Amino acid sequence: MESSRMAFLGWVLAFLSGPSTGYPNGKVKEACSSMMPLHGHVPQKFPKHTAEVNVTQFKPGEHVKVTLSGPTFEGFFLQARDAENLEGAAIGSFVLADKKRSQLLTCGHVKNSAVSHTSKAKKTQVDAYWIAPQNSPKRIQFLVTVVEKYSIFWVKIPGPVISQPNTPILTTTVAANVTLPTSLTQVFNASECGTNKFCVRNPWSCDPKAEDCFFLSFRHDHPDSVMVEMSGPSEGYIAFALSDDQWMGGGDDAYLCISEDHHIDIKTASLVGRTYPELDSEDSLEEKSWRMADGLIQCSFRRKINLPAFQGRVNLDASYYIFLADGDVNEGGAVQKHDRQPLITDGKQNITGPPKDIGGSRSPFLIKIHGALMFVAWMTTVSIGAIVARFFKPVWSHSLLFGEEIWFQVHRGLMMMTVLLTSTSFVLPFLYRGGWSKEAGIHPYLGCTVMALAVFQPLMAGFRPPPQAPRRQGKGGEKVELPEW
């Protein structure tokens, strides 16, 4: 398949460009956990390459020579892991034996914890030195991925196990898990929303079978994990995030299903600012599967309710605002800003609590502008206007501007500005809700009252007789126009 060749080429190029663009290169880091070079292809079964070491035991700080050899290969990816927890993070760090043909990569939080090739030049052997860390597990195992060419590769080939002195000998060897996201066989359905699973739907009646709406569900079917299903129309990505507030950023916990070259990548990320989310290299999700059809992305995975803090995921037994976003992916596979305002649930939700079936609203961008304009109008223009009338009237009383006293011109200008800003801002919530905001309590009523007064006040001022007129009350011109705004 031509496209998968391209994907592979992309991978090789990503490795190749490592030193020039400065690594860790994103693509390589993403392989840290799965050690999978590309997702479109299935790894080979029976490895022909072997990794060997020059010791059987190690002490913290010691160097161990690792030699990878076998039939001609182009690429490789080497790590050491806890032999009892091969799904865990890379352990210890490496130093290079051959700087031309190999490079150091940082997986997780340990610098230089993996080694990879620098070019796809053919090779039959590579050496590297592994340095045992101070807090090393008792027993570690080397794992290596070898790429022979294009789509022929082996993932997590089990290498030698070495141990610290006085560690009982391991009798059973655990095979490394190569977890490939599988294809979803079933289309999601909403039949258990609110009874057995917690659903967020947009629009609220969304049936994921209808293929034109957004659907997210959490099924708390296991004491310590949750099964997540997400579906929505997108050519690029669909994502949800859990947040403590209604704002994007500040470390929101995000889950993205990204369409990449005819397959879906299921990734986690932290939304730190309002920018491109930094995709995590560590994989904290299980049982990933996906399906893609006619512009609809569907993905599902399982997540533990509590994960170790270093993985940067929030605990699922608390309440969060849930965001739903979708957008495009550029040629490099990076997610772009959502095309439209993401959906935000009304209030914080406990997805592990009693199942609910809820909707949300596309983030009130119009409401934000509404707030901003009102803020400017009532915090700045109106107060400055009042101050000018109250305090600068005697100071500027004899200077004229366009035939009127200058204080009055400034005052009137600012007050007209206020009315203008208020009126503009007033329309926005109606546009956003497409009518009256029923659930907003007293706010809309107060708002309308203020709007009416804001129009009424200058009208009344307009009807006042001129300062010199005999019908004018108060001492001529002493009274402030439009005073208590």
Ligand X SMILES: *[C@@H]1O[C@H](CO)[C@@H](O)[C@H](O)[C@H]1NC(C)=O
Cβ count within 10 A of residue 449:
10
Smallest distance from ligand HEM to CB 343, Å: 8
Which residues inside 330-349 make contact with ligand HEM, applying CB under 6 A? 335-338, 342, 344
Region 306-335 residues binding ligand HEM, contact defined as CB under 6 A: 323, 325, 335
Q: How far is the CB of 229 from ligand X (least distance, A)?
A: 8
Residue 64 or 144 with smaller CB distance to ligand X: 64
How far is Cα 92 from Cα 310, in angstroms, rounded to an integer? 17
d(CA 321, CA 245): 6
Q: Which does 350 bind (CB under 5 to 8 A by kind): ligand X, ligand HEM, none?
A: ligand X
What token pair was written down for 97?
A: 């034996």
Distance between CA atoms of residues 260 and 290, nearest Å? 12
Smallest separation (angstroms) from ligand HEM to the CB of 336: 5
Answer yes or no whether residue 360 interacts with ligand HEM by CB under 6 A. Answer: no
Closer residue to ligand X (CB): 101 or 149: 101
- Least Å distance, CB 252 to ligand HEM, is 7
162, containing H or E segment: strand 152-163
Query: Is residue 4 within 8 Å of residue 10, measured between CB atoms?
Result: no
**Which residue(s) pair with 63 in the sheet?**
131
Residues 16-75 that bind ligand X (CB under 6 A): 54-55, 63-65
- CB nearer to ligand X: pick between 12 and 200: 200
Residue 404 CB, shortest distance to ligand HEM, in Å, is 41
* Given 353, 465, 476, 483, the residue binding ligand X (CB under 6 A): 353
Of these, 318, 450, 451, 455, which contacts ligand X (CB under 6 A)? 318
Helices (H), 155-277: none
Q: Beta strand pairing status for 63-73 and 75-82? A: unpaired
Q: The tokens of 274 are what?
A: 């309002």
Q: In what order do the strands lie in the sheet with 63-73?
A: 50-53, 63-73, 123-131, 93-96
Q: Comparing C-alpha atoms, which of 419, 433, 321, 440 is closest to residue 366?
A: 433
Binding site partner of 87, from ligand X, ligand HEM, none, Cβ cut-off 5-8 A by kind: ligand X
Exactly one of 363, 381, 418, 425 binds ligand HEM (CB under 6 A); that residue is 363
User: Residue 32 has what DSSP assignment?
Assistant: H
C-alpha 466/C-alpha 314 separation (Å) is 66
Intra-chain end-to-end CA distance of the chain, in Å: 71
User: Looking at beta carbons only, is 197 or 412 nearer to ligand X?
Assistant: 197
**DSSP bridge partners of 218:** 198, 228
The sign of the torsion formed by the CA atoms of 113, 119, 120, 122 equals negative
With beta carbons less than 8 A apart as the criterion, state whether 253 and 270 touch.
Answer: yes
The two three-digit tokens of residue 6, written as one number: 């391209």
Touching ligand X, residues 170-209 (CB under 6 A): 174, 177, 189, 191
Residue 258 found at the interface with ligand HEM (CB under 6 A): no
275 binds, among ligand X, ligand HEM, none (CB under 5 to 8 A by kind): ligand HEM
Considering only residues 272 to 301 of the shown chain, the ones binding ligand HEM according to CB under 6 A are: 274-277
Residues in the chain, total: 485
Structure tokens at 17: 């460009």
Q: How far is the CB of 201 from ligand HEM (least distance, A)?
A: 15
Residue 352's binding partner, choosing from ligand X, ligand HEM, none, with beta-carbon cut-off 5 to 8 A by kind?
Answer: ligand X
x/- letters, 409..448, toward ligand X (CB under 6 A): ----------------------------------------
**Smaller CB separation from ligand X, 64 or 388:** 64
Q: Which does 239 bind (CB under 5 to 8 A by kind): ligand X, ligand HEM, none?
A: ligand HEM
Candidate segments 94-102, 174-182, 235-243, 448-456, binder of ligand HEM by CB under 6 A:
235-243
322-323-326-328 Cα dihedral, nearest 10 degrees: -120
CB of 228 to ligand HEM, least distance (A): 13
Interface with ligand HEM (CB under 6 A), residue from 114, 115, 226, 239? 239
Candidate segments 345-353, 409-417, 419-427, 469-477, binder of ligand X by CB under 6 A: 345-353
Residue 307, judged by CB atoms within 10 A of its CB (0-12, 13-18, 19+), counts as middle
* DSSP class of 311: G
The partner in contact with residue 325, picked from ligand X, ligand HEM, none with C-beta cut-offs of 5 to 8 angstroms by kind, is ligand HEM
Query: In 158-183, which positions are buried (b, 16+ CB within 10 angstroms) versus exposed (e)?
Result: bbbbbbbeeeeeeeeeeebeebebee
Residues 109-168 that bind ligand X (CB under 6 A): 129
How many residues touch ligand X (CB under 6 A)?
18
Rg (CA), the chain: 32
The secondary structure of residue 105, as a DSSP letter, is E
Q: Which does 190 bind (CB under 5 to 8 A by kind): ligand X, ligand HEM, none?
A: none
Q: Which of residues 76-105 bind ligand X (CB under 6 A)?
A: 86-87
The DSSP letter of residue 150 is T
**Binding stretches for ligand HEM (CB under 6 A):** 239-241, 247-248, 254, 256, 271, 274-277, 323, 325, 335-338, 342, 344, 363, 365
Residue ranges in contact with ligand X by CB under 6 A: 54-55, 63-65, 86-87, 129, 174, 177, 189, 191, 317-319, 350, 352-353
